[in-house]
Amino acid sequence: MQLSHELPDYAYTLRAADGRSAKVNDRVLVRSFILSPSTLQEEWAPNDIATLTPEDLAPLLALQPEVILLGTGDRQIFPSTAVLAAGLTRGVGIEVMTNAAAARTFNVLAGESRRVVAGFLIAAA
């Protein structure tokens, strides 16, 4: 039986993520960031769910996602209703989960060629 290694048709894969760092491809990131299958924005201003505003979602929404994954660190913490409404009023669902869960979900959705965008909050050191 011949086996072949299938390469993804997207540029970025999450290898690991928690509340302190994430590994995108071979890069270790220690600040909040935004990721789509074809885009990596290494510096995203918010680092705490308590201070996340609807305006902070603008760069994620600009990527025209079907769904936004919001990684909130080591624990799942929901943002304000205003933040959730910022996506819903544009027809974009926002799924809130831990960074580890968001990383797994991102890879599955990217592998299905879905228009997914993820925002990962990394706590300031």
Residue spans per domain, the chain = 30-120
**Percent of the chain surpassing pLDDT 90:** 88
pLDDT band at 8 (very low <50, low <70, confident <90, very high): low
Q: Over the chain, what is the mean pLDDT?
A: 92
The domain made up of 30-120 has a fold known as: Hypothetical Protein Mth938; Chain: A, (3.40.1230)
CA 106 to CA 111: how far, in whole Å? 8
Kindly write down the DSSP assignment for every residue of the chain, as one continuous string: ----PPPPSSS--EEEE-SS-EEETTEEE-S-EEE-SS-EE---S---GGG--GGGGHHHHTT--SEEEEE-TTS-----HHHHHHHHTTT-EEEEE-HHHHHHHHHHHHHTT--EEEEE-----
Q: Kindly report, residue by residue over 63-74, the tens digit of the pLDDT.
A: 999 999 999 999
Predicted pLDDT of residue 125 = 65
pLDDT in tens, 72-118: 999 999 999 999 999 999 999 999 999 999 999 999 999 999 999 99
Beta strands 67-71; 116-120: pairing state? parallel
